[in-house]
Amino acid sequence: MDIKNIGIVGAGQMGAGIAQIAAYNDYKVILRDIEQEFCDSAVLKIKQGLDKRVAQGKETQENVDKTLGNIRTTVDINDLKDCDMVIEAVPEILELKKATFAELSRVCREDAILCTNTSSMSVTDIMSECANAQRCAGTHFFFPVTAMRLVEIIRGSMTSDGTVETIKETAAGIGKTPVICREDTPGFIVNRCLFAFLLEAIRCYEEGVASIEDIDTAMKLGLNHPLGPFEMMDMSGIETFPRVCNTLSALPVTDWSAPESLKKLVEEGRHGRKSGHGWYDYE
């Protein structure tokens, strides 16, 4: 299938980022959320980011106008009925995602490709109430979407080869490099490996092995990482971390339970840079 029209469900930072890169690469995008103010805020942030690049000489006004012109917004999920592909980017709550796909199954064309941007949950479970499950798959984008080059494509138990190939072509069309996760395993490829690394960094801190700052410095300079593990958690948002740990706990390899120090940060509303506080203070 030749994908031309892409629907995005969820106008948060992930949904907005996916909408931006798709629109920038000449796809027609419909961005949907439950409140118009969420959509308007997303479009405003997209415009502000692009305007900043124009001011820096890194982007042209023509491309900004084209990108914004390729995005329209809605609060009515029925407006996605003619989309060739729909990507769900709602919060990491299984029942919410399942309900979203049940509704998309009702609204969208039978041949439309339906994708979830979950970072760790079972694609098969999310799409269990969706008709024609062979057209469904996971498409895990990474934050910030406009900068990160990877997309994990995750096969559900019934995902067809044709669906995977179409998603691969579309991912390449929006400037991303796709990799295929052939098994619907918790955490897929990146988070299954990454969270073992992050959890061990937290344990080193909790056991008094080193300070947060020294662990970050050691990982950056010792492994040539652009960010240390605590800086990375703050940037991506700490509040989702315990939910991913819970999903990964199905794996027998490691103790995936969220450490107490991290749970305390979430309880205190210290969600990282966006809240002004995480492992570090940003105000």
Whole-angstrom distance, CA of residue 201 vs CA of residue 228: 9
**CB burial class (10 A; 0-12, 13-18, 19+) of residue 149?**
exposed
Tokens encoding 100: 């979203």
Catalytic choice (70, 117, 140, 277): 140
Distance (Å) of CA 107 to CA 7, 33, 131, 144, 219: 12, 15, 11, 30, 47
Query: Is 224 a known active-site residue?
Result: no
Active site residue 152: yes
CB 48: neighbour CB atoms within 10 A?
Answer: 9
- Identified catalytic residue from 119, 120, 122, 236: 119
Cα(155)–Cα(213) distance, integer angstroms: 38
Verify whether residue 140 is a known catalytic residue: yes
Q: Which member of 191, 231, 236, 277 is catalytic?
A: 191
Listing DSSP states for 126-157 in one string gives HTTT-SSGGGEEEEEE-SSTTT--EEEEEE-T
3-class DSSP assignment, residue 4: coil
Catalytic annotation present for 231: no
* DSSP 8-state symbol, 172: H
CB-based contact 135:105 (threshold 8 Å): no
Place of tokens 């098994």: 183
**Which residues are known to be catalytic?**
119, 140, 152, 191
